[in-house]
Amino acid sequence: MPLLITNGRIVTATDDYEADIYCADETITRIERSIDPATVPPEAEWIDAAGRYVFPGFIDPHVHVHLPFRGTHARDTWVSISRAALVGGTTTLIEMICPTRDDDLMEAFHLWTGKAAGVAACDYSFHMGVPRFDHGAAAQLREIADSGISSFKVFLAYKGALGVDDEELYRTLKLATEVGAIVTAHCENETLVAERQRELVSAGRTGPQWHEPSRPVQVEAEGVHHLMTFARLAGAAVYVVHTSCEPAVLVAQRARERGARVWIESVIPHLVLDRTCAERENFDGAKYIMSPPLREARHPAFLWDALRSRVISTVATDHAPFDFAGQKEMGRPPRGDFTDIPNGIPSVEHRVDLLYTHGVVAGRIDLNTFVDCASTQAARLFGLEGKGSIAVGYDADLVVYDGDHRWTVSGEDHHMATDHSVFEGWRLRGRASVVTVRGKVMVRDGRFVGELGGGRLLRRAAVH
């Protein structure tokens, strides 16, 4: 059905103006100061956006849906994550495909993509995980890249399971350069993590509060430095995921100044939470375990500054949805320790509103930066053509946003499949009033009103 949105304040990464938008055949076909309703078909759906912003659909370029961990699995499906993402204003997701060393890459690719096909309500794509690099893997990666998956994912951490060794890293980067793909990377020095975990656990330091000391900022900065060396020599474009601290950002920034093609991602938990959360009583700290860990409060402050100056390009979530009961609890002493806690903080539903509240309302970033880091940069870096902005010819992925709406996060009515949200009870400002995906209304006032299964696997251009 055609769609007319009138009287909105359109905000993109570069512009801010009032106009009406008309959409037909899934795309934006007219943007004019005032569109005469007599000039659009009578069946067009009409949304009055007076007093509201109109943003491009937000993009989360780093989520996990299907994520095995020691015999258990992350809780979301593409049904629950689609609803959660859309209610939160996110219209496109990119999931990490995370095979282990023993998995066949093509089988993993079909396993992960198959879980979204015919089910997802938002548009989606994948970063192809590379846990091993040999002749067979190289051929499969070429084929996967040719099918429109123009980014790979490597773990410098988790060696022997998800992580690659140095020879494999170099060869993956070379292949990516050849096919125009960008390599996303989790940067932590695995040897240091393993040694420090062993020392801490054998000293009886087993609670969640010891997770951060097991992988301090130097461990992450060393990982980024390692990636920078390899990326420069291979000539590869790289994207450092979930950068949590000043030293890691500075290493990437300096490498960029010396010619490295590197972009930096931060994730919402690292911006709005700090390491004291992992000290909470009754094992509640386990909810805050992710890697790299939440840091001392001066690091979030640094990240906000780096976002404002656009040293950091994107704000994603690294949504990794494990329950507290039965999953995070796997690491409860004395039966377990912090190394047994599945890593991840579910946040896909609240990223945009947290960024608006703690970024825009708090005066840390302006509206254009908000749109740029939560939508436009992801579209640009990952070849999502027609996404990430509002212009004629672009997909009609739009968020009519009420910046004055005040509300409190409640686990009772969230759409994520997890049994908790770490943002439970948080007071937020701003919420999507209407969310559309290619012209179809999917959300109204916090309620999912769309249909499942219409989400599209996006064929992404190899822009690097």
Contacts of 363 (CB under 8 A, 6+ apart): none
Judged by CB, which is closer to Zn ion: 270, or 438? 270
123-129 and 440-444 as β-strands: parallel, antiparallel, unpaired? unpaired
Q: Using CB distances below 5 to 8 A depending on partner kind, what does residue 343 bind out of Zn ion, ligand URP, none?
A: ligand URP
**Least distance to ligand URP from the beta carbon of 370, Å?**
23
**Least distance to ligand URP from the beta carbon of 287, Å?**
12
Q: Rounded to the nearest 10 degrees, what angle do helices 166-179 and 135-146 cross at?
A: 30
**Least distance to ligand URP from the beta carbon of 125, Å?**
17
Residues in the chain: 464
Return residues touching ligand URP (CB under 6 A): 64, 186, 242, 290-291, 318, 320, 343-344
Binding mask 296-325 for Zn ion (x = CB under 5 A): ----------------------x-------
Any idea which residue has 């490597």 for tokens?
154
DSSP string, 416-449: SSSS--TTTT-EEEEEEEEEEETTEEEEETTEE-
Q: Using CB distances below 5 to 8 A depending on partner kind, what does residue 344 bind out of ligand URP, Zn ion, none?
A: ligand URP
Judged by CB, which is closer to Zn ion: 267, or 434? 267
**Least distance to ligand URP from the beta carbon of 323, Å?**
14
Is residue 95 part of the contact set for Zn ion (CB under 5 A)? no
- Give 447's Cβ-side CA count (13 Å radius): 3
Q: What angle do CA 434, 362, 211 make, to 5 degrees?
A: 95
323: left (phi over 0), alpha (psi -120 to 50) or beta: beta
Considering CB under 5 A, how many residues would be counted as binding Zn ion?
2
Q: Applying CB under 5 A, which of residues 75, 186, 225, 358 lies at the interface with Zn ion? A: 186
Is residue 265 part of the contact set for Zn ion (CB under 5 A)? no
Is residue 460 part of the contact set for Zn ion (CB under 5 A)? no
Residue at shortest CB range from ligand URP: 343
Q: Which of 397, 399, 396, 421 is nearest to 410 (CA)?
A: 421
Judged by CB, which is closer to Zn ion: 65, or 398? 65
Q: Which long-range contacts (CB under 8 A, 24 or more apart) does 191-194 make?
A: 191/159, 192/218, 192/219, 192/222, 193/157, 193/219
Judged by CB, which is closer to ligand URP: 40, or 182? 182
Spatial distance between the Cα atoms of 314 and 293, rounded to a whole number of angstroms: 18
Judged by CB, which is closer to ligand URP: 28, or 267? 267
Judged by CB, which is closer to Zn ion: 56, or 223? 223
Backbone angles phi, psi at 266, to 5 degrees: -115, 160
Residues that bind Zn ion (CB under 5 A): 186, 318
